[in-house]
């Protein structure tokens, strides 16, 4: 699967009809305010470590780092990590190389879980669960067959198109309790707010 997240996926995805990305790049005017909202929303402290799961090129890691937070990232894409900003490359790790003995005040998984088959995702959650106080994830919602937001169908690597209840049951089956759920959080995925139930934001413990 990791071979799907290659240069074409991130740089030419729209043109090739495989993803929503074209020239995927650092956009501080979007990423820094989003991370500020996550900090506020989760009451994050600067003296504890954050993990961005599915970090791609590490832009969320860079934003947190620039804001003075201790953040690292992990991904399965060799290409994406190789393209990360130089100042945070040492903070990014391929998933197989991530030290799971360390602990995190929060793990962030934004637009990631929908790319992973449920049985594989279950195994990942079992590995992540002991390492964090809480997990914050954002996923696109669907009806089991199609996404509420039609544009999400343009990514050929998306495999889970389920609704809020399915995700809640899935998390609970994997021993993660849903502390809070919202369809919308101001400052996060505002560009899709015209689909008020198109995304799900979960805080898990």
> What are the residues whose beta carbons fall under 8 Å from the beta carbon of 201, sequence distance 6 or more?
136, 137, 138, 181, 182, 183, 184, 185, 188
What is the mean pLDDT of the segment spanning 115-140? 97
Q: What is the pLDDT of residue 2?
A: 72
What whole-number percentage of the chain has pLDDT above 90?
98
Q: What is the pLDDT of residue 4?
A: 95
82-112 confidence digits (pLDDT tens): 999 999 999 999 999 999 999 999 999 999 9
Please name the fold of domain 27-204.
Rossmann fold (3.40.50)
pLDDT at 159 > cutoff 80: yes
pLDDT at 57 > cutoff 80: yes
Reported in sequence order, the residue ranges of 29-134 that DSSP labels E, i.e. its strands, are: 49-53, 70-75, 92-94, 106-110
Average pLDDT, the chain: 97
> Taking the model in full, what pTM does it have?
0.96
Mode of pairing for the β-strands spanning 178-182 and 199-204: antiparallel
What size, in residues, is the chain? Answer: 205
Q: What is the pLDDT of residue 136?
A: 98
3-state secondary structure of 132: strand
Reported in sequence order, the residue ranges of 62-165 that DSSP labels E, i.e. its strands, are: 70-75, 92-94, 106-110, 135-140
Quick check: 156 and 19 in contact, CB under 8 A?
Answer: yes
Lowest-pLDDT range, 2-6, 62-66, 195-199?
2-6
């Amino acid at each position: 699967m990791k071979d799907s997240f290659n240069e074409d996926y991130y740089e030419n995805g729209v043109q090739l009809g495989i993803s929503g990305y074209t020239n995927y790049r650092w956009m501080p005017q979007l990423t820094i305010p989003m991370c500020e909202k996550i900090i506020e929303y989760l009451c994050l402290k600067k003296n504890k470590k954050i993990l961005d799961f599915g970090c791609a090129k590490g832009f969320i890691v860079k934003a947190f780092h620039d804001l003075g937070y201790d953040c690292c990232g992990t991904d399965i894409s060799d290409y994406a990590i190789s393209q990360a900003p130089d100042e945070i490359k040492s903070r990014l790790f391929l998933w197989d190389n991530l030290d799971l003995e360390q602990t995190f005040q929060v793990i962030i998984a934004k637009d990631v879980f929908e790319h992973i088959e449920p049985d594989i995702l279950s195994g990942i959650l079992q590995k992540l669960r002991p390492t964090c106080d809480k997990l914050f994830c954002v996923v696109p919602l669907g009806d089991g067959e199609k996404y509420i937001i039609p544009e999400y169908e343009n990514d050929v690597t998306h495999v889970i198109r389920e609704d809020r209840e399915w995700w809640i049951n899935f998390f609970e089956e994997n021993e993660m309790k849903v502390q809070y759920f919202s369809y919308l959080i101001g400052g996060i995925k505002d560009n899709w707010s015209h689909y008020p139930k198109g995304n799900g934001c979960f805080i898990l413990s």
